[in-house]
């Protein structure tokens, strides 16, 4: 569902994207405890899609962890809201889950030393995958946690995002020196793990610009811009057509 990440520091764990429910986060913590039983004092959230942050309730209830994430969460969600995960997960998977506001947001790069580890939380500053996205970088370790700004093995859903913002985010992440790249979804965490997302958005932009120059109609987009290089990726049939159409509208009005 989502790549939840945890980093062991000298005296605690840092969690990046707590996952879709209290129960999920509890199970993730049990895995951490097999390494060493330490508290989780800090949780960093990459964006407002609820599969990435509803696990906050476990870490807040259990450790009173500080939640760092987009202010969009506080502005658009309140206690008792039935978000998407409450509707799609079975009752035993969502039980105990609550809407927890973030404690701290980042309007510019936020550098934190936690235990013996250095983290940099970078806001994109414009709509990208969602209206407000962060990525987390560990400069000493050369590890980058992208959230849903990049995925691999599947097509992203850009329903709440911006093609131009995605391209900006990719350039911002490429500027970092990393050896490990952790996407929001996908199993490839190698240095080249962003290549799939970069290729998809770059080709989509290039082809849409030409379609606009050629006065292609919206109804002809699927035929003119099939994006067949990605047809074997998961979610292609359900998401690609909408991505193309919405990016076309974005670029049309951007001009």
Sequential pLDDT tens for the chain (255 residues) = 799 999 999 999 999 999 999 999 999 999 999 999 999 999 999 999 999 999 999 999 999 999 999 999 999 999 999 999 999 999 999 999 999 999 999 999 999 999 999 999 999 999 999 999 999 999 999 999 999 999 999 999 998 999 999 999 999 999 999 999 999 999 999 999 999 999 999 999 999 999 999 999 999 998 999 999 999 999 999 999 999 999 999 999 886
Does the model's pTM come out above 0.85? yes
pLDDT attached to residue 1 = 77
Please list the alpha-helical segments (H only) found in the chain: 22-35, 56-63, 71-76, 84-88, 91-94, 163-174, 195-213, 221-224, 236-254
Q: 169-181: buried (b, 16+ CB within 10 Å) or exposed (e) per residue?
A: bbebbeebebeeb
CA distance 24 to 44: 16
Catalogue all structural domains in the chain, each as residue range(s) with its CATH number: 5-192 (3.60.15.10)
């Amino acid at each position: 569902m989502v790549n939840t990440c945890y980093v062991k520091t000298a005296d605690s764990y840092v969690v990046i994207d707590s996952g879709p429910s209290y129960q999920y986060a509890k199970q993730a913590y049990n895995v951490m405890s097999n390494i060493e039983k330490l508290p989780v004092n800090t949780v960093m959230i990459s964006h407002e899609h609820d599969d990435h942050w509803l696990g906050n309730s476990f870490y807040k209830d259990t450790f009173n962890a500080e939640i760092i994430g987009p202010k969009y969460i506080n502005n658009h969600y309140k206690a008792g809201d039935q978000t998407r995960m409450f509707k799609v997960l079975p009752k035993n998977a969502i039980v105990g889950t609550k809407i927890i506001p973030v404690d701290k947001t980042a309007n510019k790069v936020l550098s934190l030393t936690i235990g013996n580890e250095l983290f940099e939380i970078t806001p994109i500053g414009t709509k990208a995958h969602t209206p407000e996205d962060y990525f987390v970088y560990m400069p000493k370790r050369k590890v980058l946690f992208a959230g849903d700004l990049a995925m691999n093995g599947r097509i992203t859903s850009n329903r709440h995002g911006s093609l131009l913002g995605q391209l900006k985010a990719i350039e911002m992440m490429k500027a970092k020196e990393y050896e490990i790249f952790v996407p929001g979804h996908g199993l490839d965490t190698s240095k080249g793990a962003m290549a799939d997302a970069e290729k998809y958005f770059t080709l989509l932009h290039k082809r849409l610009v030409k379609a606009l120059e050629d006065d292609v109609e919206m109804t002809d987009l699927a035929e003119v811009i099939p994006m067949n290089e990605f047809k074997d990726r998961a979610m292609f049939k359900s998401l690609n057509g909408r991505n193309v159409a919405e990016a076309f509208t974005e670029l049309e009005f951007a001009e």
